[in-house]
Amino acid sequence: MRWFITPAYYDKLEQSETILDDTPPRTTNSTDRAWRIRFLLWSTLTSLSILLNVLLLGFAWLWTDTCNVYTGGYRNVSMNANFKAASAYSPIFDKVDMQVGLTTVNGAMHDNTSIWRMPPSREVDAAWDSLTRGGLEIITVSAADIELSGKDPALSVKAPPSWDQGPDAYFAQIDIFHILHCLDGIRKEMWSEYYYDDPSDAIRRELKAHCLHAILQNLLCTADVGIVQYNWMHDDRYPESRTIPVPDYNLVKQCRNFDALLEWTIDRSVPGWQSKWSELQVPEDAVVLPGDIIL
């Protein structure tokens, strides 16, 4: 293979000559700039990737909770934001965690085990009183709460300083307790001989008409769309017993936590308001509206 190798010849360098140039190498700004751009691009892409993963995990968590609500696997996550979106303004959504839970309502036609269906007694009245509190469980709200509710604070009754409710406190009640009070009043009409000396009292009848109308409007407003299916049933208690399709009113419902609301309302109600209510004095600057009163 020696014939493929070309002999090398070298010339001797003079002493003044050098192989390497003594001039220092030049560094260009373009090289540094390119490196910075690549680093910035890499950092940006990495940050965006981390942010995207966090967002995806958050959406996955929310989606899982939403699915759990409709599949019965509810995990006690507050639904107040959803209630706010689907309701008129109420400060209660910022004060009470209205957790929901699946409940099978008692829709039996001949069930007499529920105390809410029993004939009048001290126990029955105590049960209803525990829900209605006379229908006027008074709390206080701010002027801003009244405005956000679509009303005018200038027309609202303000708690006097002697009641120690603060400078921005207006009397209010929560609507569900008014509706329950009305429902209890209609219940008592079913047993008017037990509760009233004069079962045909015209003023009381007018009050119950107001209550019936209030309950109707409340039901139409909420418009429950639960599905009532039918079962084949046979009942020998009827003279002509036969098997017929019968609606099953034992619906599974997603219910708000009424117990939490009741507890909060009792704790936040104005102390001793019943004994002081009749002593309220009309302020000189109060706006007095024409009456729509049933006494």
Residues 6+ apart with CB under 8 A from 247: 228, 229, 230
Q: State yes or no: pLDDT of 269 exceeds 70.
A: yes
- State the pLDDT at residue 258: 94
Locate 173 and state its tokens: 């009640």
- State the pLDDT at residue 80: 87
What is the C-alpha to C-alpha distance for residues 140 and 146, in angstroms, rounded to an integer? 10
What is the C-alpha to C-alpha distance for residues 124 and 117, in angstroms, rounded to an integer? 9
Domain ranges of the chain: 30-73, 79-277
Nearest to 254 by CA among 113, 117, 60, 79: 79
Distances (CA, A) of 234 to 25, 66, 106, 111, 229: 103, 40, 20, 16, 16
Number of helices (H), then strands (E), in the chain: 9, 6
Look up tokens 């209660």; give the residue. Answer: 92
What is the C-alpha to C-alpha distance for residues 34 and 236, in angstroms, rounded to an integer? 92
What is the C-alpha to C-alpha distance for residues 33 and 39, in angstroms, rounded to an integer? 10
Higher pLDDT, 22 or 295: 295
10-24, 99-113, 249-263, 270-284: range with highest mean pLDDT? 249-263
Rounded mean pLDDT, 248-268: 93
Q: State yes or no: pLDDT of 135 exceeds 70.
A: no
Rounded mean pLDDT, 208-225: 96
Residue 113 confidence class, pLDDT cut points 50, 70, 90: confident
pLDDT in tens, 53-89: 888 877 666 655 544 443 344 334 578 898 888 899 9
- State the pLDDT at residue 40: 81
Look up tokens 């909770």; give the residue. Answer: 65
pLDDT in tens, 30-61: 677 777 787 788 778 888 888 888 888 776 66
